[in-house]
Structure 1
Amino acid sequence: MDSGDDSPEGFLDVLKERLSDPSWASKKGLEVVPKRLAEFEAEGLVDICHQALEVLGTAAGKEEIWRDAYHTAGILQYSLQKVKSGSATVNLAKQHLRIIGNSVADNDTNRSVALDALESLIDCFSTEELTTTALGAVFNLCYDYSPGESQAAKLRLDYIVASYIARERIPESGIETAGELIALTLESLSPSELVDDTSLSTFSYLLDAISPPKAVFRAGLINLPTDQILEICTPYLSNNDFRLKLPPAEAERLLNILWEIEPADPSVRRALYQALDHPVDQQDDEPSFKITLLLINGVCAISTTEAFSETYDLHSEFMREVTDKVLSLYSGGGSSLLAPSAICACTMLGNLAISDNVCKEMVLLCLHRPLIGILFTSQEPALLYVTAGLLRHLAFPRDNRMYLEDAGLIWASCHLLGNPSPAVRGEAAAILCKMVDDDYGYVRYYILEIVQDTTFDPPRQTILELMINQSLAPSGPLPSTSMRSVNVEVGRAIVAMLKSLINTPAAHTKLLRRMYQTPLVAEPLKRLARQQIFAEVRSEAIFGLGLMLLSAEGTTSFLAGEHDNVGLVDSLRELFAAESGGNETAGVQLQRDRMNALVVISGLRKHGADTMDAPLKERVETVHLELAPFMASNDPLVAN
């Protein structure tokens, strides 16, 4: 760049000509550009500088070959120095940012030169005219470049960018790039950094942009693209450890956002419910679909924390809004598919229903009525599961049960025993179990009342018969070990009923005999007594069998089943060879199980001598002789 370029205009013409021909990138001449630009700027020829910088930036954006040339000629270094010093005017700084951003794109050599200026580039975010260009330059510098991503994480670029979004300092045109910068920063954070206070503040800033705290008033509010900002939130909401650390107030903001964006289309709602019920099988990667799922999971996760129950109660403004939503669920009838946010409402209420007083208050508010309506009409397992869980909580106080039964809870629970979902069936059985806990009236009801639901086979079963048959029916595995098993809950219900009848006056003997006439009544307990996984459940089952075998009628009922009774006796025998492992609690439980096992063996020998088949009778006699030392040192009484 020598002939015809002494004048500023001549220099500019030659520069444009050279940059239009990529072959010049390998030739000498560009190294004079930084010097000439500095001279023009010193002379006040800002327009010439602007035009020259503009064509330089454009060329680097179009042809990769110029990127190496700019490094060799010192043009990249010159622009970096101008940005770092902050000496350029805003208009010129924007062009320097263009040169830097285009020069470092997919060029690790140039990135290594520019990385030292990362903080200066980030500082340009604060100048409105430079924000979008600076975002692009920083993205090109860091993206897919490990040193750049590491430095971004060290500077906590995620927090910086989110704070600018919250303060409406990033225009809509820059939101996508801002989100990509946050995403690449998150990928370089350690697991502990992902859930630290800075990450929590970053997330809060993002929510501020679309759902400002109620105490904040912002004039001239810019309508930022909610969908894009929510997409930026995806990595945070996908992290369960992060969700559990969110402060309770964020549940309020997340739910308000969910209420605004959740779909009205029944087909989309149904797909959301299916995804909630089978999260591993989720196939829909559409951003709005995914973020709706994450919002639901986020709200539910926050509401499980102790901080949530300490912050909110039924009288909180937010929870009053939630209860109003629940009460209005069926104001227009129960035929329409409920919004998936109903899951959040039921989960939050369930997590607040942790005391008898709160549960009683919920029933006084008549919250149970729309909830029971859901059990009768909904086909969505995810919603049925959380709704049944809440209603089970409401059944804990005995004072509530009359109102729950009057509203149809028992029949709704019977209806759910036929649901295809093992988790839903388990919760239904748990409700039925809770209703008979220390409550003779419902024990009698279960033994005598005929189920009117004609979908079950055989027809005209009592409630107890239905429970037994459904617990013995084939069932798929539960998605989580924390979920309730229909087999376990029905077994517990039978034990509760036996305790209620055996520990009451003789006037109830007739009802107990009627219970023993119920087909297969001992079978759920036999199954649970033989399983080895859940020790507490096994203990309850052995206790229940011991109660049955205290009488001849109970023994007859025990022997009427189809279970391998010989195998059961052998499993009880193994208790006397078991060790507690030095655990005091386990030792006490083992001793109790042994005492109840002795009751079972003694009961069979005493009341079943004439009705046991030969193999069982032989095994009982053998085990009885083996356990004679234990028999002598323990009274044959059931140990609860």
Structure 2
Amino acid sequence: MASPKGISTGHGSVPETSRPSVSSELDLPSVDKVLSGLPDISSILPVQDATVDSKDQEAMFRALKNIIEHAEQTSEVGNSFDLKELHASLGQAEEEARLGRRDSTTLESVHTTLIQLWSCNSNLMAQAAEILANGSRDPSWRAPIGQSGILKFFLDVVSSRQELEQGLLLHSLRLVGNSCADTDENREIVVKGNYTLAIIRHFLNPDLLMVAIPVIYNICMDYEPAHAQMAENRAAYIILRLLRDGTLGDNEALLGFAYDLVELASEQAQGVENSPDGTILLLMELALNEDITFEQYASLVNCLSTYLEQERFQNACISNNMVEMLLSVLKRSISIEIDNSSKEDVSALAQARIKANQALSEVSASPLFAEHYPLDSNLSKTLKSWIMAEEEQLQICACVMLGNLARSDEVCKKMVKDLKIHEELIAVLNSDARGSVLHSALGFLKNLAIAGDNRVSLAEAGIIPAVSHLWAFDSVPQVQFSAATIARQVIISSPENIARLLSPLSDDPDSPANRRTYLSLLLVLFEKTDSAPIKTEIGRSIASICRTLTPKAREGDEQASTLLNTLYDLHTGVARPLGAMITQTQWPVVRSEGWFALALMANNKSGCVAVADCLQNEEVLELLKKTLSMSSEPSDEETEKKDPSQVTKDRDNVFVLVQELLKNESGALPEGYRNTMEDLVNEHASQLKSSTA
């Protein structure tokens, strides 16, 4: 038998200079320490106190060998192997043997022989293990090996804490791996005794490592209980330490098994929960290693994203100064080489970038992030420089992470007033950026617009024209929605910004665009979209205009009166979005807001025309009747969602709406509608009188 070749330690190791200046308190235990914290596996083997003559031992060995060779007949198995051969034996069987019985009865005498050879501490044990390991490459031997007790015997050998011959351990591991290939009943034996831990302990033995890792892989493949047990036994962390330290060398097959096992373990909740905090440092260090393949990089990023979904690892990443390193992992995806002709590679790269950004998003959403990385930190400055970067994933990252910092009025004001970040974001909106970048920039701007003092600055920087062209971005409805939301945000309680929304698209009086406004474009979106949230958001913008301007116009404010006239005269169907607010059923408070805005509109003669147009919608009209009636059925789903005060408020607003409409409509109501409105008012008054009595 040829011994396994020595394993180089140069290729896979991560240079010490690439490690970040992390806290000394980071939980980064050695493999020995991790394994020492796991329970021992009891090995039940016969006591080695028998005395058997060497000739008798040889006779027993020949008998064992004859049973296997008789069954295999024409299948000759070599006496040496390398990792490629082992890989084949774990994944593919030799051709089916045509002669001999292959069942547990045939192997009962083999099991007995093994016990006898063990009991006398025979030096033939390793050869016997090799013959059986070779035979187990044949699928027809696998179930009998488990049923006869042979698998359990060799699992106990693997679990023994005695000093055993390396060859015996090597072939015992091979037998376990081969016997478990596509054989769940044998895998169940392994899992039942927690033998995966015994195999994992051999990861520390350089002479057995190249076998132990693929054996674990073979046991776990497509068998979830083994996945879970392997993960619970800290296999991911242990393998990551071995990879980081270069212990696995540069053998591609072995590295492939190792990275797959790490990813399998990360899919198990108990594996992630039980991992030390330092797991994320190992993942990042490896991901930044220039020698790894793209496939390995993608696997590491997937794992990293999974770990950073947990608050514990997010906090560890932040408090141990690893966020900059995480940024580097994302940046690495920009330069890493892939086969651009491969659809699989292109798709995997896109997913890796999304996963890396997702991890950064999770980390920056933590309350700890703002404490450790304030706006004047180097990391924040780096992110600001990425807003206008050529790589869209860096832009997305910057918008999301800085957007997560923008959670207080103080920070938002500083970002706008001192750093002028809003100007760069608006430039992104005006560029040819793709939908994902636009969506992230809009999300950031929405946070900045929450601070009231920022709204004028945003409008002065051209936010309304910038978002207006995105209202036609129908390929990404999320972009349309966010762009509509920003329009609503910047006009809240701001006649100046409302004036900007109502300003003409062209200053040329002879141009048709002079009679169209930015609000006109928003109303075009309302008519085209099928999205209820977008329709509702546009309605809320109209309601905000009415809330701000109508009281001022009543007080004689000339600008407010002029803007109201523009609102009604240049925008046919301007009240229809309010109807969408009323007919939606998800948010009762939004419906109430819609009724109130319609009542404000009805206070204006021109506004009555818009209200009458809105009431052409039969659903709105029926809801008006139902709301005004005192006999609304208590079982009504929408009524049950509202509290009694909300129902009363809606009824009062509708009553005012109808009264104002009757007073100001001046023929705007279609024939028959006025009578309907009058009947509703009279009925409501009668019901009020009756209930009072």
Q: Does 1:234 align with 2:295?
A: no
Residue 98 of structure 1: CA displacement? 2.0
* Letter of the structure 1 residue corresponding to residue 608 of structure 2: T
Kindly indicate whether the alpha-carbon contact (under 8 Å) linking 2:406 and 2:412 is maintained by their aligned counterparts in 1.
yes
Matched residue pairs, number? 585
Query: Alpha-carbon deviations, 1:258-308, whole Å to 9, x = none?
Result: 21114799998xx9xxxxxxxxxxx99943333333223333344344444
Instruction: Sort the Cα spacing of 1:82 and 1:244 in 2 relative to 1 into closer, same or farther, 3 A.
Output: closer
Kindly indicate whether the alpha-carbon contact (under 8 Å) linking 1:175 and 1:229 is maintained by their aligned counterparts in 2.
no
- 2:48 corresponds in structure 1 to none
Residue 413 of structure 1: CA displacement? 1.2
Q: 1:463 aligns with which of 492, 500, 517?
A: 517
Of the structure 1 ranges 48-57 and 338-347, higher mean CA displacement relative to structure 2 is found in 48-57
Partner SS for 1:315: coil
Query: Structure 2 length as normaliser, TM-score?
Result: 0.71
Q: 1:601 aligns with which of 642, 658, 683?
A: 658
Residue 526 of structure 1: CA displacement? 3.4
Matched-pair identity in %: 23
Residue 387 of structure 1: CA displacement? 1.0
Kindly indicate whether the alpha-carbon contact (under 8 Å) linking 2:283 and 2:304 is maintained by their aligned counterparts in 1.
no
- 2:446 corresponds in structure 1 to 392
Residue 23 of structure 1: CA displacement? 3.7
Query: Alpha-carbon deviations, 1:124-159, whole Å to 9, x = none?
Result: 112233223112222333444566456446545455
Kindly indicate whether the alpha-carbon contact (under 8 Å) linking 2:155 and 2:190 is maintained by their aligned counterparts in 1.
yes
- 1:591 corresponds in structure 2 to 648
- Structure 2: how far apart are the matches of 1:448 and 1:267? 51
Kindly indicate whether the alpha-carbon contact (under 8 Å) linking 1:262 and 1:339 is maintained by their aligned counterparts in 2.
no
Query: Alpha-carbon deviations, 1:147-180, whole Å to 9, x = none?
Result: 6456446545455545555555544543432344
- 1:257 corresponds in structure 2 to 329
- 1:83 corresponds in structure 2 to 158
Query: Alpha-carbon deviations, 1:463-505, whole Å to 9, x = none?
Result: 3542453243221337xx6x88553343344335435743664
Within 5 Å, which residues of 2 pair with 1:86-485?
Answer: 86=161, 87-108=163-184, 110-111=186-187, 114-115=190-191, 116=193, 117-145=195-223, 148-149=226-227, 151-152=229-230, 155=233, 157-158=235-236, 160-162=238-240, 164-165=242-243, 168-171=246-249, 173-182=253-262, 189=268, 193=270, 197-198=273-274, 201=277, 204=280, 207-210=283-286, 223-225=291-293, 227-228=295-296, 230-231=298-299, 234=302, 237=305, 242=310, 246-247=314-315, 249=318, 253-262=325-334, 286-326=347-387, 328-329=388-389, 338-363=391-416, 364-420=418-474, 421-451=476-506, 459-477=513-531
Residue 562 of structure 1: CA displacement? 6.6
Instruction: Sort the Cα spacing of 1:18 and 1:569 in 2 relative to 1 into closer, same or farther, 3 A.
Output: closer
Flag structure 1 segments of 5+ consecutive residues without an equivalent.
213-220, 272-282, 330-335, 634-640
Residue 436 of structure 1: CA displacement? 1.7
Instruction: Sort the Cα spacing of 1:525 and 1:107 in 2 relative to 1 into closer, same or farther, 3 A.
Output: closer
Instruction: Sort the Cα spacing of 1:156 and 1:579 in 2 relative to 1 into closer, same or farther, 3 A.
Output: farther
- Report the RMSD for the aligned CA atoms in angstroms: 4.5
Residue 621 of structure 1: CA displacement? 0.9
Instruction: Sort the Cα spacing of 1:376 and 1:8 in 2 relative to 1 into closer, same or farther, 3 A.
Output: same
- Structure 1: how far apart are the matches of 2:500 and 2:456? 12
Q: Does 1:507 align with 2:558?
A: yes
Of the structure 1 ranges 170-179 and 519-528, higher mean CA displacement relative to structure 2 is found in 170-179
Kindly indicate whether the alpha-carbon contact (under 8 Å) linking 2:484 and 2:522 is maintained by their aligned counterparts in 1.
no
Kindly indicate whether the alpha-carbon contact (under 8 Å) linking 1:550 and 1:603 is maintained by their aligned counterparts in 2.
yes
Partner SS for 1:459: helix
Q: Does 1:626 align with 2:677?
A: no
Partner SS for 2:472: coil
- 1:275 corresponds in structure 2 to none
Query: Alpha-carbon deviations, 1:391-427, whole Å to 9, x = none?
Result: 1322333443444334322211111122113322222
Partner SS for 2:473: coil
Of the structure 1 ranges 620-629 and 104-113, higher mean CA displacement relative to structure 2 is found in 104-113
* Letter of the structure 2 residue corresponding to residue 395 of structure 1: A
Instruction: Sort the Cα spacing of 1:522 and 1:564 in 2 relative to 1 into closer, same or farther, 3 A.
Output: same
Instruction: Sort the Cα spacing of 1:407 and 1:113 in 2 relative to 1 into closer, same or farther, 3 A.
Output: closer
Partner SS for 1:614: coil
- Structure 2: how far apart are the matches of 1:579 and 1:284? 60
- Structure 1: how far apart are the matches of 2:114 and 2:203? 25
- 2:549 corresponds in structure 1 to 498
Of the structure 1 ranges 233-242 and 102-111, higher mean CA displacement relative to structure 2 is found in 233-242
Instruction: Sort the Cα spacing of 1:239 and 1:603 in 2 relative to 1 into closer, same or farther, 3 A.
Output: farther
Q: Does 1:523 align with 2:576?
A: yes
Residue 234 of structure 1: CA displacement? 3.3
Instruction: Sort the Cα spacing of 1:113 and 1:563 in 2 relative to 1 into closer, same or farther, 3 A.
Output: closer
Q: Does 1:575 align with 2:627?
A: yes
- 1:278 corresponds in structure 2 to none
* Letter of the structure 1 residue corresponding to residue 450 of structure 2: F
Instruction: Sort the Cα spacing of 1:486 and 1:148 in 2 relative to 1 into closer, same or farther, 3 A.
Output: closer
Query: Alpha-carbon deviations, 1:568-593, whole Å to 9, x = none?
Result: 44422312344789989733322222
- Structure 1: how far apart are the matches of 2:435 and 2:69? 65
Kindly indicate whether the alpha-carbon contact (under 8 Å) linking 1:142 and 1:149 is maintained by their aligned counterparts in 2.
yes
Partner SS for 1:413: helix
Instruction: Sort the Cα spacing of 1:243 and 1:379 in 2 relative to 1 into closer, same or farther, 3 A.
Output: farther
- Structure 1: how far apart are the matches of 2:380 and 2:485? 26
Instruction: Sort the Cα spacing of 1:600 and 1:163 in 2 relative to 1 into closer, same or farther, 3 A.
Output: same
- Structure 1: how far apart are the matches of 2:378 and 2:485? 32
Kindly indicate whether the alpha-carbon contact (under 8 Å) linking 2:294 and 2:337 is maintained by their aligned counterparts in 1.
no
Kindly indicate whether the alpha-carbon contact (under 8 Å) linking 1:356 and 1:396 is maintained by their aligned counterparts in 2.
yes
Partner SS for 1:365: coil
- Structure 1: how far apart are the matches of 2:57 and 2:687? 110
* Letter of the structure 1 residue corresponding to residue 513 of structure 2: P
- Structure 2: how far apart are the matches of 1:19 and 1:255? 57
Of the structure 1 ranges 28-37 and 149-158, higher mean CA displacement relative to structure 2 is found in 28-37
Flag structure 2 segments of 5+ consecutive residues without an equivalent.
1-53, 74-99
* Letter of the structure 1 residue corresponding to residue 330 of structure 2: L
* Letter of the structure 1 residue corresponding to residue 295 of structure 2: D
- Structure 2: how far apart are the matches of 1:339 and 1:176? 31
Instruction: Sort the Cα spacing of 1:434 and 1:496 in 2 relative to 1 into closer, same or farther, 3 A.
Output: farther
Kindly indicate whether the alpha-carbon contact (under 8 Å) linking 1:552 and 1:607 is maintained by their aligned counterparts in 2.
yes
- 1:216 corresponds in structure 2 to none
Kindly indicate whether the alpha-carbon contact (under 8 Å) linking 2:582 and 2:595 is maintained by their aligned counterparts in 1.
yes
Query: Alpha-carbon deviations, 1:368-395, whole Å to 9, x = none?
Result: 2221122112352222122112113223
Instruction: Sort the Cα spacing of 1:206 and 1:615 in 2 relative to 1 into closer, same or farther, 3 A.
Output: farther
- Structure 2: how far apart are the matches of 1:85 and 1:301? 44
Partner SS for 1:438: coil
Instruction: Indicate the structure whose relative CO is greater, using CA pairs within 8 Å and at least 6 residues apart.
Output: 2
Instruction: Sort the Cα spacing of 1:110 and 1:401 in 2 relative to 1 into closer, same or farther, 3 A.
Output: closer
